Structure 1
Amino acid sequence: MDELPIGRRVAYWRGRRKLSQQVFADRLGKSKSWVDKVERGVRRLDKFSVLYEIAYILEVDVQLLLGKDPERRADALNCIDQVEVQEIRAALERYDSMSAYFDAAPYPPPLVDMRKAVNHAWLTYQYGRYGMLTRALPKLLRDAQAADAGHDGDHSREAAHLLGQVYQIASSVLRKLGECDLAWLAADRSMAVAQRADDPLLAGIATTRVCNAMVAMGRPRPALELNLTIANRLAPGGGNDTDPGRLSVYGLLLLQGAMAAARLGDSATVDDLINGAHEAALLLGSDQNHYWTSFGPTNVELHRAAAAVELGDGGRAVEVHQQRIAEPAFNTLLPERRAHHLLDLARGFAQIGDVANAGEMLLRGDRLAPSEIRCRPIAHEVMSDVLRRTRGAPPSLIAELAEHMGVGV
């Protein structure tokens, strides 16, 4: 879009928002004729105040109207491009709840529709369909924010709960795709909203999203400390119940703490936290999906292998996979979890110099959830390593996957 005149960009984003010229003009407080002249380039847009108002109504960053968005990547079908990043950023930067403090939204989205949309978004994430999810996120964020701002009374907590979940979904997928600053922002928003939702377990899961983003941004120590602080407060027993939701959230906090400790090279803390999570998983009995955690005995072993990779012990990660993870239980996990583990195994095999099996794990992961392999920066690093250390020409399937990933052979 860089070569388009600014009026054409306005028309493009107006079309994306499904606004007629008349509706757009009404929201701007202008005439339809004024909008038409701007879009045809007859009238210049030379006032920043007007540009920012247009950007606000179109729910995009003003830089997009000025033609600053980069070209779409070749892998945009499965991943995310900068146009979508900017749309998500614009949605995250809205403050509907503050606006509603002064002027309540007249028609908030019905909560029954929001519940369906949020559940669908979670499943889209857990099936590893990241491109589909990132294209839906801007609207989902705006709708959830509007619902949170517009519902009161008995419905306010549920609206806040749904918004908190949407922020968590956004944080999770943005972190995977390498947009760590936005992942942290979305996770931080989720923690604040969870307090209004008055759900300690939602706040616990929000903590793991914040800590994941912190680790990705190179701050594992505060991430470890925060995970442990909240895990201790939510630990089953004493004054706390031992229902499946609490066990799942508590266990995941310990697992994410273990991953932060692994990044610090603290193997003793890693073992302690994973063993604690294992005890919680045994109480739970099986792999379940309370609070969208996918927590259970098998997921604990997946994290045991992942932590070994972070510690640089690829041989241990392969051993965990071969000796501690039962294939039937593994195959019942959702695609994102399995493909993520196969990517960890690829890293483990690469660490011990077995690039053939590293490549095979990438292929298996790609068959399960292509976005987990084709879109994640860490997967690109593994593929580059496999190609660099393969003697002669790489196998045809590896070369084909590398081409899809945009990694040079």
Structure 2
Amino acid sequence: MDELPIGRRVAYWRGRRKMSQQVFADRLGKSKSWVDKVERGVRRLDKFSVVYEIADVLQVDVQLLLGKDVERRPDSINCIDQVEVEEIRQALERYDQMSAFFQPAPQCPPLPEMRKAVSHAWLTFQHAKYGVLARTLPKLLRDAQAADTAHSQGEDARDAAHLLGQVYQIASSALRKLGEHELSWLAADRSIAVSQRAGDQLLAGIASYRVGSALLALGRARPSLEVNVNIANRIAPGHDMGTPERLSVYGMLLLNGAMAAARIGDSATVRDLVCGAEEAARALGGDFNHYWTCFGPTNVQLHRAAAAVELGDGRTAIETHEQIDQEGFAALLPERRAHHYLDIARGYTQIGDVEKASEMLLEGDRLAPSEIRCRPLAHEVLSDVLRRTRGTPAAPIAELAEHMGVGV
């Protein structure tokens, strides 16, 4: 994007922030006509003060607008910056398989080495190390794509496709957390296609879960509900209740469907889907991480609380939270637990208890800082807490707000 005129860069980032020209103009104190002329290159941006103001409104580094390399800031070490987003985008936009028709397949790491790298990436995500993951994802995507292309006709074809499908899912999950929902959807959709080539129904099933999550993040709750329920019905365990892996993927699809149903206010469907997931969790007999799902009885309870929050029933969410088995909760990976604290913080704001909401945010931050400091949703919750706080906020929450750049 460096070679684009500055007006085109402004238009690009305005589109990424989902602002209309009118909204953008209003925030700048300019006319829509002025914005249109800047983006078309008819009007020059020759004042640095205006460029800085535009960068501030678009929430990007001014160097990106000027087409220069951005120096990564120390305070972004646990999060993702625009440079990393663009690197991941470029990796997702590669079409190595098509290129292989015209030239030799690219060099790639050995598959055993790739398996280790993919497992490490999953654990990095589940420990909520999003900044670390963002810096490794572009290379991991390129390596997995190259491996899939290099082994497309050999006996290792399914293994290579399986690894690429997993990497797309890791990318989708991380991008969704960080607010890059369109890219998250693209990566999840890619994973479905690759999973079919891998010949693994459950990998395709959990890829559908990622698609459903991305659709929900994009505000497309009904399509999210449909894709989760449809695929869950296709892989539903039989009378023997199936394998632990099948139970895990099936259960997570039902839980994701419940979250979509909650978003549209369908409490009856939420209840049915959570009950179905609860039955699968009982059959599973504990909390496991098959297909990187962290599925089991404890995760069902976490989703029950999260669905209550989505339905606007903060009190039920808190009651559910208080009944969660503490031993099972402590055994979950940091991302799951910190995510839950964020959900319960939202529940406490719904009943007007900003002090307890603050405690939940701080607990999540102590456990997995990136889950709180890097997620747009957490910024919204913290802003809500600060707005509702009477007088000066407590020192720990004020310090967290300062770290996150949220105005007190």
TM-score range relative to shorter protein: 0.7 to 0.9
Task: Provide closer, same or farther for how the CA distance between residues 66 and 99 of structure 1 changes in structure 2, counting only shifts above 3 A.
Answer: farther
Aligned to 1:403: 402
Tell whether 2:341 aligns with 1:342: yes
Q: Which amino acid aligns with 1:378?
A: L
- The one-letter code sitting in structure 2 at the alignment partner of 1:304 is R
- Output aligned runs, 1:111-190, within 5 Å: 111-151=111-151, 152-190=153-191
Q: Is the 8 A contact 1:69 1:82 kept in 2?
A: no
Distance 1:274 1:177 in 2: 26
Residue 47 of structure 1: aligned partner: none
CA distance in 2, matches of 1:377, 1:80: 12
Q: SS state of the match for residue 287, structure 1?
A: coil
* 1:44-75 deviation digits (Å, cap 9, x = unpaired): xxxxxxxxxxxxxxxxxxx9797177775674
Q: Secondary structure of 1:84's match?
A: helix
For the residues of structure 2 that align with 1:276 and 1:70, how far apart are their CA atoms? 49
- Unmatched runs of 5 consecutive residues or more in structure 2: 3-62
* Residue aligning to 1:385: 384
The 8 Å contact of residues 96 and 145 in structure 1, kept in 2 or not, is answered as yes
Contact 1:72 1:82 in 2 (8 A): no
CA distance in 2, matches of 1:303, 1:173: 19
In structure 1, distance between residues paired with 2:133 and 2:184: 14
In structure 2, the residue corresponding to 1:344 is in which secondary structure? helix
Name the counterpart of 2:193: 192
Instruction: Provide the rounded CA distance (Å) in 2 between the counterparts of 1:210 and 1:87.
Output: 21
User: Normalising by the residue count of structure 2, what TM-score does the alignment of the two structures yield?
Assistant: 0.82
Instruction: Give 1:318 deviation, angstroms.
Output: 0.2
CA separation of 1:134 and 1:106: change in aligned 2, threshold 3 A: closer
Partners in 2 of 1:69 and 1:82 — Cα distance? 11
CA distance in 1, matches of 2:405, 2:132: 19
Alignment-derived partner of residue 208 in structure 1: 209
Report sequence identity in percent: 73
CA distance in structure 2 between the aligned counterparts of 1:267 and 1:106, rounded to whole angstroms: 51
SS of 2:242's equivalent in the other structure is coil
* TM-aligned CA distance change 1:72 to 1:259, over 3 Å: same
Q: Is the 8 A contact 1:75 1:405 kept in 2?
A: no
Equivalenced residue count is 347
Per the alignment, residue 219 of structure 1 pairs with 220
Q: How far apart are the structure 2 equivalents of 1:143 and 1:65?
A: 30
SS of alignment partner, residue 155 of structure 2: helix
The answer to whether the 8 Å contact 2:288/2:294 transfers is yes
Match of 1:266 in 2: 266
Conservation of the 8 A alpha-carbon contact between 2:106 and 2:146: no
Superposed displacement of residue 392, structure 1: 1.1
The one-letter code of the counterpart of 1:226 is V
128 and 185 in structure 1: CA distance in 2 versus 1, 3 angstrom threshold:
same
Structure 1: runs of 5 or more not aligned: 3-62
Matched, 1:247 2:247: yes
What are the within-5 Å matches in structure 2 for residues 7-406 of structure 1?
A: 67=67, 75-151=75-151, 152-237=153-238, 242-323=242-323, 325-406=324-405
C-alpha distance in structure 2 between counterparts of 1:106 and 1:359, whole Å: 51
Shift of 1:366: 0.4
Which residue of the partner structure matches residue 38 of structure 1?
none
Q: Tell me which residue corresponds to 1:22.
A: none
Distance 1:106 1:383, change over 3 A: closer
CA RMSD, Structure 1 to Structure 2 (Å): 1.9
Structure 1 residue 102: deviation in Å?
3.0
Deviation at 1:101, TM superposition (A): 2.9
Output one character per residue of 1:126-181: Cα deviation in whole Å (capped at 9) or x when no partner.
00100000011000000000000001321010000000000000000100100001
Give the partner amino acid of 1:307: A
Q: Distance in 1 between matches of 2:71 and 2:357?
A: 32
Determine if contact 2:241/2:283 at 8 Å carries over to the other structure: no
Q: Letter of the 2:133 partner, please give it.
A: L
Offset at residue 287 of structure 1 (A): 0.3
Distance of 2:154 and 2:389 partners within structure 1 = 63
Question: In the aligned structure 1, how far is the partner of 2:297 from the partner of 2:241?
Answer: 20
Q: Distance in 1 between matches of 2:126 and 2:169?
A: 13
